[in-house]
Amino acid sequence: MGVKGFVEGGVASIIAGCSTHPLDLIKVRMQLQGEKPSLPNPALRPALVFSSSSSSAGIHVAPSLPPPPRVGPISVGIRIMQTEGVAALFSGVSATVLRQTLYSTTRMGLYDVLKTKWSDPETGSMPLARKITAGLFAGGIGAAVGNPADVAMVRMQADGRLPAAQRRNYRGVGDAITSMARQEGVGSLWRGSALTVNRAMIVTASQLASYDQFKEMILEKGVMSDGIGTHVAASFTAGFVAAVASNPVDVIKTRVMNMRVEPGVVAPYSGALDCALKTVRAEGPMALYKGFVPTISRQGPFTVVLFVTLEQVRKLLKEF
């Protein structure tokens, strides 16, 4: 039973992750809007302008360009296709497959194990508090296992927004992970892991617990029978709850994972709290909800595909 839960959750997660990958990529690009780019190479820093007539010193710092206007998810998607090609919408999809294989397989399987152990033997139901606890635990363990793939995915998705000279140009998730380990140390594979774990705990607890809770409520009240309609309604609601709860942590996680760190250069952020404070100070509190539209646009379909596929896979593997 336990092993089957891991297989079912893994298959459903990979299908859901790949089918909604373009929306996730757009979300990442939007979350990085407004962030001041790091310029580790001194040659790329703002140049000094020398003038013999404007001041006694004759030196002025060139005025910084105003930040580009923030655009919505449709515009971001169109811009990606125009500048990078349609295939760019699937940048980092190999990392998504690995991430879902490691992270989601672990969290879905552990949640299923805990749900079996903690459910009432007579009714088969589990109190909401236990569902949330199971989700927190399963999400945290899954995130710790899948963090290297998560870092690789964020970097591969964000690469296209950088100038050509600054792009990492990873050939795939394997190249991304080995390059990070070689150039930045093995520890870089767990950069932002605290954020990843916190986000995963929030997402898993809100997503899986909400789905089970809403599904039980629909069936108990007789609104619908146990079928695809119930699965879609419960999963979309669960996706909305998860998106609202996790978006602020997701923005900070994206920025910390994407930052460029080189020897002898001060990192843009010293950690999650520093990133959060700098983001809010520079861009306002609502910056923590950047990318929310694509987040819910992705989280909704992802959760629907995830649970509808999961229910169908369970039916197929029922006899095993």
Q: For the chain, give the mean pLDDT.
A: 86
CA distances from 122 to 118, 126, 210 (A): 12, 11, 22
pLDDT digits (tens, 9 = 90+) for 266-292: 888 988 899 999 999 999 999 999 889
Is there a domain that residue 145 lies in?
yes
Token pair 């380990």 in the structure block, residue: 181
Q: CA triplet 119, 235, 249: central angle to 5 degrees?
A: 90
Among 101, 183, 113, residue whose Cα is nearest residue 145: 101
Is there a domain that residue 45 lies in?
no
Give yes or no for a contact between 205 and 132, defined as CB atoms under 8 angstroms apart: yes
The rounded percent of the chain whose pLDDT value lies above 70 is 88
Is there a domain that residue 55 lies in?
no
pLDDT higher than threshold 60 for residue 169: yes
Instruction: State the average pLDDT over residues 69-91.
Output: 88
Tell me the sheet residues that pair with 48.
Answer: 61
Q: CA triplet 81, 150, 17: central angle to 5 degrees?
A: 60
Is there a domain that residue 234 lies in?
yes
Is there a domain that residue 272 lies in?
yes
pLDDT digits (tens, 9 = 90+) for 36-54: 655 544 444 444 444 444 4
Count up the domains in the chain and report the number: 1
Is there a domain that residue 42 lies in?
no
Give yes or no for a contact between 61 and 46, defined as CB atoms under 8 angstroms apart: yes
Which pLDDT score, from 0 to 100, does residue 199 have?
87
Is there a domain that residue 143 lies in?
yes
Count Cβ atoms below 10 Å from residue 85 Cβ, excluding itself.
11
pLDDT digits (tens, 9 = 90+) for 222-272: 999 999 999 999 999 999 999 999 999 989 988 988 888 777 888 889 888
Question: Tell me, what CATH number does 101's domain have?
Answer: 1.50.40.10
What is the residue range of 295's domain?
2-35+71-316
Count Cβ atoms below 10 Å from residue 304 Cβ, excluding itself.
21
H helical segments located in the chain:
2-19, 21-31, 73-84, 93-99, 105-118, 128-158, 173-184, 193-220, 228-258, 272-283, 292-316
- Which pLDDT band, with edges at 50, 70 and 90, does 66 fall under? low
Is there a domain that residue 41 lies in?
no
